[in-house]
Amino acid sequence: MDGHSTTAPTAIEKIIAFVDERVGLKKIQAKMLNEPVPGGSRWAYVFGSCLLFIFIMQAVTGILLMFYYVPSADHAYASTQYIIHEVDYGWFLLSYHFWGSTAMVVMVFAHMSQVFLWGAYKKPREMIWLAGLALFGIVMAFGFTGYLLPWDQRAYWATTVGVEIMDKTPVVGDFLARFLKGGPTPGQMTLSRFFVIHVMVLPATLMGLAGLHIFLFRKAGPAGPFRGSDEELKAKTDYFFPRQIWKDIVAMGAVFATICSLAFIEPVVLLEEATPDPGEYHPEPEWYFLFLFQLLRLKMFAGEFGQFLGAIALPGLFMALLAALPFIDRSPERNIFKRPVALVGWILVMIGILVFTVSAIINREFLD
């Protein structure tokens, strides 16, 4: 004997070695964790990781809710009430899912604003920006389709307003509205189609687009902060692990705690069951569509053409401008303080959204 003892690998180590030999886990791990971060780790880089975390939690809570939810016009409201009042912690699951959708909208707005202000949409990251815009649309569609599922008055009439706005789209608007409603008024076919879109079509589309977005991001690499020369950023370059991943984990924990707190403080409470008669209820969409809803109340958008202009033409032109932005703005300059048009434009858009949203809320309180 040479005096040296060898320890046989455990079963888990054998499994890891087996998978690594065939998949290359260690190479994937090294590539993901050793990604260079220009300018060093920053709290400003946590938005993407937080968005992924929110989506995973939305998927988990959504699956748990589906065990009890019945997507039928006769039972959707009752099954939602059952979740709230009878299922252990069902009220919390539903409330977390509701506030999680709000957090996802807020986070995607923050992420897109950061990318815009930092000029991170510029060459060679045009495809990342376009994939991000598509993901933004998917997130908004999640909120729109999921809002109907509880089948109370708020859900029913918010959906009705949304479909009426969609109906004003040229060429395809009438088809989309008739397809989503499935009849003259929202009913069983509407609920079924919104349910399928919400739990099957949109998650599959989001996973595909998110995978493409991450792949393109890894290919182009992080843009880094807009301040500092290339030499300065390179000198301060850090790696994703451990500092950036630690910041991401802390940020995800803060997001989780915030959503949990909102679920406890403001749990979901249903109104009366959905009915074609609004009664004293004043129909309006979810809060992130309120600015558009309030915009359409202006006199300049009265009438069929005015409604088309405010509900479809202006938002469509705005999204088209965002999509064309990387190809219009070819300047390599990324410092937002040296891009006054971009800075002033962003400020005006944010102020406009805020003013119209607050006006809609004030108008709602007045009506109530």
| Average pLDDT of span 195-202 | 96
pLDDT (tens digit per residue) in 279-303: 777 777 788 888 888 888 888 888 7
**CA 159 – CA 145 distance, rounded (Å):** 8
Based on the structure, what is the number of domains in the chain?
1
Please check whether residue 43 lies inside any domain of the structure: yes
Radius of gyration of the chain (CA): 24
Residue carrying structure tokens 């220009």? 38
Q: Which string of DSSP letters, residue by residue, matches 13-43?
A: HHHHHHHHHHH-HHHHHHHHHT-EETT---G
Dump pLDDT digits (tens) for 109-161. 999 999 999 999 998 999 999 999 999 999 999 998 998 999 999 889 888 88
On whether residue 323 sits in a domain, the answer given is: no
**188: domain CATH number?**
1.20.810.10
Q: Which amino acid is at 73?
A: A
107 confidence band (pLDDT: 50, 70, 90): very high
pLDDT value of residue 172: 82
What local confidence, expressed as pLDDT, does residue 178 receive?
87
236 φ/ψ angles, rounded to the nearest 5 degrees: -95, 10
User: Within a domain: residue 150?
Assistant: yes
Per-residue pLDDT at 1 exceeds 60: no
Asked whether residue 354 is domain-assigned, the answer is no
Higher pLDDT, 281 or 174: 174
pLDDT digits (tens, 9 = 90+) for 222-265: 777 766 555 656 656 777 777 888 999 999 999 999 999 999 99
* Nearest partner of 252 among 54, 79, 13, judged by Cα: 54
Q: What angle do CA 26, 32, 37 make, to 5 degrees?
A: 140
Domain for residue 337, yes or no? no
Q: Is residue 25 situated within a structural domain?
A: no
Output the pLDDT for position 17. 83
Mean pLDDT of the chain, nearest integer: 87
Structure tokens at 161: 């307003």
Flag whether pLDDT at 221 surpasses 80: no
Region 50-54: what's the mean pLDDT? Answer: 95
Mean per-residue pLDDT, 29-56: 82
High-pLDDT (> 90) share of the chain, %:
51
Mean pLDDT of 60-80: 95
> Taking 80 as the threshold, does the pLDDT of residue 82 lie above it?
yes
**129 vs 22 pLDDT, higher one:** 129
Give the range of the structural domain holding residue 178, as residue numbers without chain letter. Answer: 35-221+234-278
Q: What is the pLDDT of residue 3?
A: 53
Q: Which of 198, 61, 216 is nearest to 138 (CA)?
A: 198
The model carries a pTM of 0.87
Q: How confident is the model at residue 54 (pLDDT cuts 50, 70, 90)?
A: very high
Which range, of 177-191, 224-238, 343-357, averages the lowest pLDDT? Answer: 224-238
What integer pLDDT is reported at residue 19 of this predicted model? 82
Residue 310 lies in a domain: no
Query: The tokens of 219 are what?
Result: 């290919």
Instruction: State percent of the chain over pLDDT 70.
Output: 92
Q: Which ranges constitute the DSSP H helices of the chain?
A: 11-23, 25-33, 47-66, 76-85, 90-117, 126-146, 153-166, 173-181, 188-196, 202-220, 230-235, 245-265, 290-295, 303-308, 314-328, 340-367
Tell whether 271 is covered by a domain: yes
Q: Is 20 exposed, middle or buried (0-12, 13-18, 19+ CB in 10 A)?
A: middle
Phi and psi at residue 344, in whole multiples of 5°?
Answer: -65, -40
pLDDT computed for residue 226 by the predictor:
65
